[in-house]
Structure 1
């Protein structure tokens, strides 16, 4: 309690200094804090939002995946450049028609509850994800699976209903992290609170809204790992508090670092700040089933009414790029579109043509972290210039998820505008588009918060799914991106950088391009 109290006092003092100075951390503030030497092999990671679920198949946020990946592993993973690497599968073969995927499994691996990892365990996991009756949020990644066949104890074959060239990417997605069959049977739907995997760490404690702690898994299969004894994730939505924790040594790694503080913090008091391009896009979805957003002219008007470059400068201190498609440039099959330039006259003209010459009132939802609060305030100010009065509702992530995912009938959805980000953690266009804008992905099945349906888009999505030919997939995604861009179910904002900070004694902890934390090789170096 004393430690937590001290953290809060320091955070409050730091936040006060920000208010008085009218800016982020200054060089003088950084210099006033002495570097802290690290003792032991326990680290704290401060993050900006709360964890929602520890069930990878039912997880919809990248942050929760970061914690899950410390405890669970998949057949395939991604390296720092999002290239696929073997994990629990040592090798694999894909049939020429891209319908059969055969995995050869690693020997001698057990789940942290003692359950053997083998082909039967893989079958249990894939069958759960692909079950047609599944209500798991990541079911759509595996809905095309026809059956999973145990060939022998360490060989498993997954057979699809139709060819799908991006299926390996889906197996590398964190949704495919393997969960102990024994734990699935024991906990049922409560597995989200009792994760059990083959990973380096095991869950010790999860106090929702405060912290989640994992400790070393004594049964881990890779010799010499993990190199840390424990990792504690702390939910710290307020930017100044996270920075204060890193400066005092209360935290060893924080993300994201507020863009405005990058220059002042870099190299000060044994702190390193890194920023690299990501595949995360920020957007505002508009509920296309309800007035006034059922009119594409209104949706296009909002795109013209918001200055994307100013948004990036104010919210991300320039550490982002304006979107030129629904997916980021480094996502497979990216196809750039002609940007919506900042043009208030054009926005007003479109609103008038749609029957809203004086604008209208609406509400925007977002998470309640500091960056998202700043973003929604900027959006509110920009739209006011064309007569659109925006009420802001910043919510804790679990609260907002409930409001979005509890809706069973699309007509009952209260959502109007939603500001958020999306990271296609498969690295492929399919997962950057289909779960967000496909007709079968309306909540609670998917994350189509725009409640968007377009026959051309839906047809081309099916064409892209049903072929393994890269040329055919590219042609389909070219059409999809063009149609969505013109129809504008989103305000297309930016592709942001990943920005994170850490104490210099912590090595090999970093963010992948999808924004998830990779801490597998992390260690304390003295």
Structure 2
């Protein structure tokens, strides 16, 4: 990488030097006016491949390297806005969405963005059958039918035919929010294909998109740098470069933001947020996300396979205490598998710490003396703090729990393999403002066999399956009477509670972002797809 020797270039080099781990004394305490430096934890940033890029942390990066057909308004996530598609409509028979692409959109290679590229990108997700295929499989798409159902009519027209009856709006929301739904430069990817992998090996660390920023470099758990794509269809971004820095320690984020080494920081601990939010020159944004913090139990085998033990678990979580002491700036109390803010969500059922009631249930299950178990949690707050609180309350009922911490890949990897006891996690549909999204992710499990490998269904991960619940969720999806559909989604929540679903929601996620006051136009997105095209800095002369 080279830098010019103008003052602007030297400032850029200083920021880049800091980003690559050089001593802070080598860089100015003020970031360059034409660059945005963002601090966050990259512990769960494992792949940049849109077919396999899981988790919230990668969503913002993908949203800036790539473009989808449509996007959701950051201030009103029920409002769908144009992306690569300038307009769309249901076909006359109501069985498909037809998108008309805007003319002039280009990939960063210079190739035009075509409907063929977008259709191929969606085909690729199903053919690779990696983590992000799950949502499309839940709509009935498979590697065998996707080419017939999602097709380019011509260079500017894409038709997405529904694989089975469902809610067309939900598919539109998925196209707007899922990392899997972005357009890949087909020609650029296929030139890097090896052994028929459709470019999967190359795309782990590289990008081939049409987004407002192009990837310059990514060093895992260190730094990711992207520069402005001047030929973006929206016009050039206001900033010349964006640098995402890996900073897992809250105090480091606080210090660097305070002294001006960072422009934006996420993932900061509550005490540091409280210390900074009233300081001059620092602004705060708190945005509710659809994602839910939870405690998940293995209902496939072990003590939590017994419904009575799962009921006891609900009463051995100090819901109120955790939300008061651990979750400020991370989340707010929520105990339903449907995200807050939707008309279908029911009031909280009122789960609370009740050790005596839990002991009674454990005795009925033949576990009056308790048992030994493990709690897995990602090695960062608030997960570790929730795990510690849970360990203490489980002990009050005689359950001896060992806490196992690690990266997201280690913790959620064990969950995906169904080799765990308890997990403190974060999940749910979240990005799509629709009750089916959360229920599908947290409660739905159409095939509980090990061979099914429905790893992005957290119901499958936990081994919890309820046929009546599956049928109710399926029926609600295709119900066209809004009143009846609303009641069905509410009935699904009641049934999940009665059957002691293996995931116990404890808090609805809140993303708290701290930023320097000179950063303008930054709007944290509820679906985590925060776009930086319009962000700028307003510096005093």
Q: Which range, TM-score by smaller chain?
A: 0.7 to 0.9
In the TM superposition, what whole-angstrom CA distance separates every residue of 1:498-518 from its partner, at most 9, and x where no partner exists?
211001111122322234433
Cα 1:149–1:520, aligned 2, differ >3 Å: closer, same or farther? same
Q: Which residue of 2 aligns with 1:396?
A: 407
In the TM superposition, what whole-angstrom CA distance separates every residue of 1:110-166 from its partner, at most 9, and x where no partner exists?
11122221111121122223x3x5412122322334512322321111111222212
Q: Which residue of 1 aligns with 2:365?
A: 354
> Which one of 193, 196, 216 corresponds to residue 204 of structure 1?
216
Cα 1:441–1:399, aligned 2, differ >3 Å: closer, same or farther? farther
Determine helix, strand or coil for the equivalent of 1:511: coil
The Cα of 1:404 is off from its aligned counterpart by 4.0
The Cα of 1:88 is off from its aligned counterpart by 0.8
Cα 1:9–1:386, aligned 2, differ >3 Å: closer, same or farther? farther
Within 5 Å, give how 1:425-464 maps onto structure 2.
Answer: 425-440=431-446, 443=453, 445-448=455-458, 449-464=461-476
Q: State whether structure 2 residue 315 is matched by structure 1 residue 304.
A: yes
In the TM superposition, what whole-angstrom CA distance separates every residue of 1:350-391 from its partner, at most 9, and x where no partner exists?
111111112211111121123222221122112211111111
The Cα of 1:426 is off from its aligned counterpart by 1.5
Q: State whether structure 2 residue 422 is matched by structure 1 residue 417.
A: yes
Determine helix, strand or coil for the equivalent of 1:316: coil
Q: Which residue of 2 aligns with 1:27?
A: none
The Cα of 1:169 is off from its aligned counterpart by 1.2
Within 5 Å, give how 1:15-414 maps onto structure 2.
Answer: 37-50=30-43, 51-80=45-74, 81-82=76-77, 83-95=79-91, 98-129=94-125, 131=126, 133-143=127-137, 144-145=140-141, 147-165=149-167, 166-174=170-178, 175-187=180-192, 188-190=199-201, 191-223=203-235, 225-317=236-328, 320-331=331-342, 333-405=344-416, 407=417, 413-414=418-419
Cα 1:5–1:193, aligned 2, differ >3 Å: closer, same or farther? closer
Q: Which residue of 2 aligns with 1:520?
A: 533
Aligned-residue CA RMSD (Å):
2.5
TM-score by length of 1: 0.87
Determine helix, strand or coil for the equivalent of 1:334: coil
Cα 1:474–1:119, aligned 2, differ >3 Å: closer, same or farther? same
1:107, 1:276 → 2: CA distance? 34
In the TM superposition, what whole-angstrom CA distance separates every residue of 1:268-310 from its partner, at most 9, and x where no partner exists?
1411122233322100110101110101111111111112111
1:495, 1:125 → 2: CA distance? 32
Contact 2:415/2:423 (CA < 8 Å) preserved in 1?
no
Contact 2:464/2:501 (CA < 8 Å) preserved in 1?
no
Contact 2:286/2:513 (CA < 8 Å) preserved in 1?
yes
Cα 1:420–1:380, aligned 2, differ >3 Å: closer, same or farther? same
Cα 1:515–1:158, aligned 2, differ >3 Å: closer, same or farther? closer
Determine helix, strand or coil for the equivalent of 1:514: coil
1:189, 1:400 → 2: CA distance? 23
The Cα of 1:96 is off from its aligned counterpart by 6.3
Contact 1:103/1:156 (CA < 8 Å) preserved in 2?
yes
Which 10-residue stretch deviates more, 265-274 or 385-394?
A: 265-274
Contact 1:48/1:239 (CA < 8 Å) preserved in 2?
no
Q: Which residue of 2 aligns with 1:21?
A: none
Cα 1:9–1:463, aligned 2, differ >3 Å: closer, same or farther? farther
Determine helix, strand or coil for the equivalent of 2:204: helix
Determine helix, strand or coil for the equivalent of 2:493: helix
Determine helix, strand or coil for the equivalent of 1:53: coil
Q: Which residue of 2 aligns with 1:6?
A: 23
2:248, 2:37 → 1: CA distance? 15
Cα 1:402–1:206, aligned 2, differ >3 Å: closer, same or farther? farther
2:188, 2:381 → 1: CA distance? 37
TM-score by length of 2: 0.85
1:400, 1:217 → 2: CA distance? 36
Cα 1:399–1:208, aligned 2, differ >3 Å: closer, same or farther? farther
The Cα of 1:327 is off from its aligned counterpart by 2.0
Cα 1:445–1:209, aligned 2, differ >3 Å: closer, same or farther? same
Q: Structure 2 unaligned segments of length 5 or more: list them.
A: 1-15, 193-198
Contact 2:225/2:242 (CA < 8 Å) preserved in 1?
yes
Contact 1:325/1:337 (CA < 8 Å) preserved in 2?
yes
Contact 1:49/1:396 (CA < 8 Å) preserved in 2?
no
Cα 1:422–1:96, aligned 2, differ >3 Å: closer, same or farther? farther
Which 10-residue stretch deviates more, 461-470 or 357-366?
A: 461-470
The Cα of 1:482 is off from its aligned counterpart by 1.3
2:337, 2:93 → 1: CA distance? 29
The Cα of 1:454 is off from its aligned counterpart by 0.9
